[in-house]
Amino acid sequence: KGPDPDLVAIAERMATVKHKILILSGKGGVGKSTFSAQLSFALAAMDFQVGLLDIDICGPSIPKMLGLEGQEIHQSNLGWSPVYVESNLGVMSIGFMLPDPDDAVIWRGPRKNALIKQFLKDVDWGELDFLIVDAPPGTSDEHISIVQDLGAASIDGAIIVTTPQQVSLIDVRKEVSFCKKVGVQVLGVVENMSGLRQPMLAASKFLRMTEAGEEKDVTEWVREYVKEKAPELLDIIALNEVFDNSGGGATRMCSEMGVPFLGKVPLDPELCKAAEEGRSCFVDQKSGTSAPALQKIIETL
């Protein structure tokens, strides 16, 4: 029996992709797609060629989040062309192939696997520095498919997104064990929605107004100012934990499991609003409280 022709075609297509990163989460709604999108925009802003592939077949949220609903995939003689949101950031999602965004996709494993194969084989990404794969939550058909099709050895690694809650953390363990079983390196865990810092947002907006568009993180500045002028207010500008974090959150879990902890991203009303409005791009939410945290995570990768 010769080599699987699909796998040969995928390997040929992927020969022009330098790094492949999977974004995983144990549960839905923890911000995996948001992180995938932000990571992609951040890498694109660093002048890398980036592809964002949404393989969440039953719940593709990337098109809505990026304001790309209703876009259709175009075909050329080189394959399916991604939808470009920046000149160096192409997006591909099952969402572009559904006639009605409200359609439920009820597919069994083999059909999902076939579509993922087709994505990997037929999308004309061109030369890419990074392919960011936004996987569905959990560990099911799509995950096994993507690892088998790409080959575990050719995947740089996985980033696991969680919230600080126990219910989400428990499922991170399953993701880590999945990665170990299939031989994909865990690049690390991101704790998303980790605290809320709204008064900071107000302060930074105020400063931006007074400083004529100069962009900077004013968190430290505000803290020092309040400490000096009104120390009794210090606790309201501190990060407020929204979820019970008494178990030590992702930091502790990572050290127990021996995987890197990449950092915390706070709940950011601006980021949420941007996603709702379909303009969830890194540049747009620079003013948000999550951007510096995201940037830091990206730098540690």
Which residues of the shown chain bind ligand ADP in the complex (CB under 6 A)?
25, 28-34, 61, 192-193, 265, 267-268, 271-272, 275, 290
Q: Is 296 annotated as a binding residue?
A: no
Beta strand ranges found along the chain (DSSP E): 17-24, 50-54, 74-76, 79-81, 83-86, 89-93, 128-134, 157-162, 186-196, 261-267
Report the residue number, 49 or 61, with the smaller CB distance to ligand ADP.
61
Q: Is 27 annotated as a binding residue?
A: yes
Report the residue number, 88 or 162, with the smaller CB distance to ligand ADP.
162
**Residue 230 CB, nearest distance to ligand ADP (Å)?**
27
Cβ atoms within 10 Å, residue 247 = 12
**Residue 36 CB, nearest distance to ligand ADP (Å)?**
7
Q: Is 28 annotated as a binding residue?
A: yes
Provide the 3-class DSSP secondary structure of residue 48. Answer: coil
Report the residue number, 29 or 247, with the smaller CB distance to ligand ADP.
29
Give the chain's radius of gyration (CA, Å). Answer: 20
Q: Is 213 annotated as a binding residue?
A: no
Determine the residue type at 183: G
Q: Is 76 annotated as a binding residue?
A: no
**Residue 5 CB, nearest distance to ligand ADP (Å)?**
33
Report the residue number, 113 or 192, with the smaller CB distance to ligand ADP.
192
CA distances from 82 to 6, 38, 51, 152, 205 (A): 20, 18, 8, 24, 35
Report the residue number, 237 or 291, with the smaller CB distance to ligand ADP.
291
> In this structure, is the dihedral angle defined by the CA atoms of residues 205, 206, 212 and 216, taken in order, positive or negative?
negative
**Residue 290 CB, nearest distance to ligand ADP (Å)?**
5
Q: Which of 184, 144, 192, 185 is nearest to 168 (CA)?
A: 192
C-alpha span between 150 and 182 (Å, rounded): 12
C-alpha span between 195 and 59 (Å, rounded): 26
Provide the 3-class DSSP secondary structure of residue 157. Answer: strand
Q: Is 61 annotated as a binding residue?
A: no
**Residue 163 CB, nearest distance to ligand ADP (Å)?**
9
**Residue 224 CB, nearest distance to ligand ADP (Å)?**
25
Angle at the Cα of 211 from the Cα atoms of 208 and 215, rounded to 5 degrees: 55
Closest-by-Cβ residue to ligand ADP is 31
Q: Is 189 annotated as a binding residue?
A: no
C-alpha span between 119 and 277 (Å, rounded): 27
Report the residue number, 13 or 64, with the smaller CB distance to ligand ADP.
64
CA dihedral 200, 39, 25, 219 (to 10 degrees): -10
Report the residue number, 172 or 226, with the smaller CB distance to ligand ADP.
172
C-alpha span between 263 and 191 (Å, rounded): 6
**Residue 151 CB, nearest distance to ligand ADP (Å)?**
25
**DSSP class of 31:** S
Q: Is 29 annotated as a binding residue?
A: yes
Binding site per annotation, positions for ATP: 26-33
Binding site per annotation, positions: 26-33
